[in-house]
Amino acid sequence: MDLLEYQAKELFREMGIPVLPSQRIDNSRDLKGLQIPYPVVLKSQVRAGGRGRAGGIRFAENTIDAIAAARTIFNLPILGEYPQVLLAEAKYDATREFYLAVTLDYDLRRPVLLGSSQGGMNLEAVMELLQQVVVDQEFSSFYARHLTLKMGLQGSLIQSVSTVIEKMYHLFVQNDLDGVEINPLGVSPTGELMALDGKITVNDAALRRHPALASLAAKMPQSDIAKETPTDIDPGKFLPIQNWLNRDGNIGILCNGTSLAMAMVDLVYSAGGKPRLCLIVGEEASGNLTPASWREQLEQALERLTQNKNIKVLLVNILGNTAASQEVVAVIDSYLQRKVNEMTEHPQRMTRRVSTPSPKDSRTRIGDRRPEFLTLLPQFVVRLAGGELDKSQEPLATMPVHWSDNLDDAVEQAISLAKAAAKSRSGTPSTK
């Protein structure tokens, strides 16, 4: 997760990395009480890069200018993201600018220090002069000094820039970050250093052992993916969502494994279907699987996917042994039964409702009123591969669910149902 600039600078300040006096602006009116002397820079606080070029960074000489600039920036989306806050910062005149970063090299499996004697917006120039030092064993200051020399720095800059790199490294290690970047690190005519812009990427896996970062994360603007599924869920039982979202898609995917999810997305795309989003349940999701939590995860995922109105077909693929497959059948059965009963008892809560089943038969089997039911929830295609399921089993036969033990067939079925759903929405209503 990327922190916003003002959050990153807060951490820089705590670590003793020099940053400019700045103020968070939640509303353009806040500028009337600005504590920083003009001229100031106003910066859009979005996670996307390229803010400068997109017009998200503006200078202001006085309050009137600043309010106008702030209004413009608040209304300017950058790569689809509107800022919720701006950062007002003192203007700084740098004679030189450097690039510095600390990150992990996944090939070398070690942290690396990166530095370029050319910083700023011209990335090609930054990259051309980029130097790297691998932190092969326990960190010590010499690694940082080594980088400054590779960058071609001389005199007092060797020590002062090394100190900044060292502080970045400590920030990186203490907070389990994926990366810390300062670009540019400004150098004043007197040789003073200033982190003019900065970026911190937090490692999601490590978040739970850093409560301060976790609470920052909780305050971040919601991503599109989070908006697609209800969030009234205990964050401790968080379900991983594949990190993509296809806004044109109408097939929801639920499965037990990240690579399996990728395989299913590939299959659906290559057969002409459009996945919307994907939830992953199971061991790798929780790391602590007990029979109760497995059922709970599965139910929660079904709930989240069926509530998403963009999803017309729900493709479920749970790979496991016979016992696991039977469990999935039982969970889907009880989930669908419960849904039907809820809808019957609380018709006002229904959003997809087309016709009302009469309340008196609320305990009858789902299969008995399949037509009404199908209009209320996405269609289910469930693929279970583990073990031989007895196809004559009652839930399998009576639920409005397409069962399959073959992945290719299940994908094909899901796509043809999704296409039919798309057609019936755009053309004449189907008369199933």
Partner 1 sequence: MKLTPDSKILIQGIAEPLASTYTARMTAYGTKVVAGVSAGQGGQTLDGIPVFDLVEQAIQSVGAVDISIIFVRPYAALDAALEAIAAGIRQIILITGGIPPLDMVRLLRKAEATQTLIVGPSSAGIIVPGKVLLGTHEPEFYSPGSVGLLSRSGNLTYEVAGEMTRAGYGQSIAVSIGSEPFVGSSVVQWLEILAADKNTKVIVLVSHISHTSSSDEQAAAEYIVATLDKPVIVYFVGRLLPQEKLLGPGNALGFWRQEAMLASPQAELAAEQTPENRKIAAFKQAKIPIAERPSQIPDLVKKALKKSG
Q: Does 24 bind partner 1 (CB under 8 A)?
A: no
- Give bridge partners of residue 180 from the DSSP assignment: 102, 200
| Contacts (CB under 8 A) with partner 1, residues 152-211 | 173, 176, 178-179, 181, 183, 197, 199, 201, 203-206, 208-209
| Among positions 20, 36, 263, 396, the unique one binding partner 1 when judged by CB under 8 A | 263
| Among positions 194, 216, 267, 301, the unique one binding partner 1 when judged by CB under 8 A | 267
Q: How far is the CB of 212 from partner 1 (least distance, A)?
A: 16
> Using CB under 8 A, which of the segments 66-74, 158-166, 238-246, 332-340 binds partner 1?
238-246
- Residues in contact with partner 1, total (CB under 8 A)? 80
Q: Does 243 bind partner 1 (CB under 8 A)?
A: yes
Count Cβ neighbours within 10 Å for each residue of 268-299 and write b for 16 or more, e otherwise: bbeeebbbbbbbbbbeebbeeeeeebbbebbb
Spatial neighbors of 239 by CB under 8 A, at least 6 apart, are 233, 279, 280, 281, 285, 297, 300, 301, 304
| Contacts (CB under 8 A) with partner 1, residues 69-108 | 79, 99, 101, 103-107
Distance of alpha carbon 386 from alpha carbon 325, whole angstroms: 6
Task: Give the residue with the Cβ less far from partner 1, 106 or 392.
Answer: 106
Q: Does 110 bind partner 1 (CB under 8 A)?
A: yes
Q: Tell me the pairing of strands 57-60 and 110-116.
A: unpaired
| Contacts (CB under 8 A) with partner 1, residues 392-431 | 407-408
Task: Give the residue with the Cβ less far from partner 1, 199 or 369.
Answer: 199
Task: Give the residue with the Cβ less far from partner 1, 178 or 333.
Answer: 178
First-to-last C-alpha distance (Å) of the chain: 45
Residue 252 main-chain phi, psi, to 5 deg: -95, 145
Q: Does 120 bind partner 1 (CB under 8 A)?
A: yes
Task: Give the residue with the Cβ less far from partner 1, 376 or 385.
Answer: 385
Task: Tell me how far CA of residue 105 lies from CA of 101, 102, 145, in angstroms.
Answer: 12, 10, 20
Looking up tokens 């990190």, which residue turns up? 243
| Contacts (CB under 8 A) with partner 1, residues 338-367 | none
Q: How far is the CB of 357 from partner 1 (least distance, A)?
A: 38
Q: Does 327 bind partner 1 (CB under 8 A)?
A: no
| Among positions 35, 190, 288, 355, the unique one binding partner 1 when judged by CB under 8 A | 288
Residue 200 main-chain phi, psi, to 5 deg: -130, 130
Q: Does 131 bind partner 1 (CB under 8 A)?
A: no
Q: Does 265 bind partner 1 (CB under 8 A)?
A: yes
Spatial neighbors of 26 by CB under 8 A, at least 6 apart, are 84, 85
- Give bridge partners of residue 23 from the DSSP assignment: 88
Q: How far is the CB of 355 from partner 1 (least distance, A)?
A: 38
Task: Give the residue with the Cβ less far from partner 1, 50 or 191.
Answer: 50
Q: How far is the CB of 378 from partner 1 (least distance, A)?
A: 22
Taking the CA atoms of 405, 411, 416 and 419 in sequence, report the sign of the dihedral they define: positive
Q: Tell me the pairing of strands 86-90 and 22-25.
A: antiparallel
